A and B are shown apart, each in its own frame.
Chain A
Amino acid sequence: MYEKDNEFILRIRRGEETPIVEMYRLYRDEFIIWSTSQFPIQIEQAKDTFQDAIIDFQENVKSGKLVTLSSSVKTYLFQIAKYKIINLLKREKRNTYIEETELINREKQDYMLAEEMKYKLEDIKQAISNLPEDCQKLLKLYYFKEYDMNSIARELNYKNSDTAKSKKSICMRKLLIELNKLSKILVL
C-alpha cells in the first residue's frame, strides 16, 4: 500500500540520508500551508518544526522504534510535527491553537516519546549554544566527528593531546553548569 514509504524506511535503515531530504522536499510546502492555517505559527516556525519531525522520523527508524507504518509517511510526519507545534505553543504559552490534541491510539506513544526526548535535548542544545565557541567546536569534533585527542589538538591548535583532553573536561564542566542554570533535572 505504501510502497514508496516503505522504501524510504528501508533506505533510512540502511543508513542513507538522501530519503530525509527527499521527504522534506516532497511534503514541506504542504505542511507549511496546513500548519500555518491550523496553528498560530509563522512559516519559519513551520519549516523548523517539520525539519525536526523528519529528523525524529529518521531516528525512530534507525533505532528500530518504527518498523512498519500503519499510515503513510506523510501522515506520520504531520502527526509528529503537529505535536511539536502544540508543545512549541505550550512553551510559548500560547494556547490558542485551533485543533485540540487528538492523539491517535497506537501511535500516540511514539509521538509523545519523541517529544519527551526532544524536550531534554532542547536543554542540551540550549546549554551547548551557551558555551564558548572553542568548546562547541571541541565537543562537536569529539562527539560528532569522533576525532581522537591528537586530531582535536591539531585541528584546534592545542599544544598536545593532553591539552585537548583537559580542555574537553573543562568544556564538559561548563556544559553541566549551563544545564544546571537551565534548572532542569537531566534524566535522559
Chain B
Amino acid sequence: MIPTEYISLFEAYHQKQLSGKSLTEFEARLSYDSEFKSHYLEFCNLENGIKQHFHKESLKEKLKAEDELIDVRIKSRSFNRRIIISSIGLAAGLALVFGLYQNNSNQSKTAKTLWPYEEGLPVQMGHSNKYNSAMNAFKVEDWNKAFTLFSDFESDTATYFAALSQYQLEKIDKASKLLSSIDETSAFYMDAEIRIALIRLQQDHKDTATKLLNKIRLDENHKFYDLAGRILKKI
C-alpha cells in the first residue's frame, strides 16, 4: 500500500513540478531506497490502471450504445414480424368477415333469385270491384296499391298476395308475418312455406330455413319439393 504522504510527491514528479534540489533528491532516493522505489512503481501502476479503467469504460460505453442499437433493430424486426403476423391475422379476419358477409350475401341472393315467380290470379280487367283492382295492381307490379287493396280483404288469398306485395316492397318481416298467418288448409300454404323458408334465409336464419326446407323435402308431393332440394344444396 502506497503511504498517502507520498501521493503529492509522486504527482509533483510526474507533473514535472520538481526541480533543482528536490528533483535530484527524489531521483537519488529512487536509486537507493528500494521501499520508496517500490511505492513509486506501485503508484505508476495505479496510474496506468486508472488510465486503462477509463479507456475501457469509454469503449464499453460505445459497445453498450451499439448494444442498444442492435436490440432496437431486433425489437423492430420482431415488431415488424408482429405487424406482418397481425396483418395476416387481420386479413384472415377480414376475409372471414368478408366470407361470412359473402356467404350471407350469397344466401340472400340465392333466396331472392329462387323466389318463385307469382303472376297472380286471373281476374277481369277493369276495376269493377276492389279485388280485381288489387290483383291488377299486383300484376302491373304496383306493390303499394296492391298491398293497400288486398289489406281490405280477410282471406288467405288476399293475405298471400298482400304478403308478396310487402316482400316486393322489401318489407320482408311484414311479408313473413303475413305468410305465417296462412293456414295449413289454404291452397297457398305450400307457397307460403317455401317463401317463409326463403325469407328466413334472407334474414340470416339459416337453421330455421333449413328446418323448413327439410320439412318440405319430407313430402315428395310438395309443390316445391324440388326447389327445396335445390335451395338446400346451395346453402
A120 near B63: Cβ-Cβ < 8 Å? no
| Selected interface stretch from B48-56, B131-139, B164-172, B174-182 | B48-56
Which B residues are in CB contact (< 8 Å) with A90?
none
Given known pairs A55-B59, A176-B4, the reply for A25 and B66 (CB within 8 Å) is yes
A143 near B70: Cβ-Cβ < 8 Å? no
- Bound Cα distance A52, B62 (Å): 12
The B contact surface, by secondary structure, is helix
A123's closest neighbor in chain B, by CB? B49
A24 near B63: Cβ-Cβ < 8 Å? yes
B62 near A169: Cβ-Cβ < 8 Å? no
* Cβ proximity bits A165-188 to B, threshold 8 Å, 1 near / 0 not: 100110011011101100001111
| Selected interface stretch from B39-47, B114-122, B142-150 | B39-47
B73's closest neighbor in chain A, by CB? A25
Asked if B221 is at the interface (CB within 8 A of a chain A CB), the reply is no
B11 near A169: Cβ-Cβ < 8 Å? yes
- Bound Cα distance A80, B188 (Å): 94
B45 near A188: Cβ-Cβ < 8 Å? yes
State which size class the interface on A falls in.
35 or more
Which A residues are in CB contact (< 8 Å) with B223?
none
- Bound Cα distance A186, B45 (Å): 9
B51 near A144: Cβ-Cβ < 8 Å? yes
Within 8 A of A (CB), among B85-144: none
Asked if A140 is at the interface (CB within 8 A of a chain B CB), the reply is yes
A169's contact among B7, B55, B56, by CB below 8 Å, is which? B7
- Bound Cα distance A187, B38 (Å): 10
Tell me how far the C-beta of B145 lies from the nearest C-beta in chain A, rounded to whole angstroms: 80
Given known pairs A51-B64, A128-B53, A176-B4, the reply for A29 and B59 (CB within 8 Å) is no
B: which residues have CB within 8 A of A? 1-2, 4, 7-8, 11, 15, 42, 45-60, 62-64, 66-67, 70
A: which residues have CB within 8 A of B? 17, 20-21, 24-25, 28-29, 47, 51-52, 54-55, 58-59, 120-121, 124-125, 128, 139-140, 143-144, 149, 165, 168-169, 172-173, 175-177, 179-180, 185-188
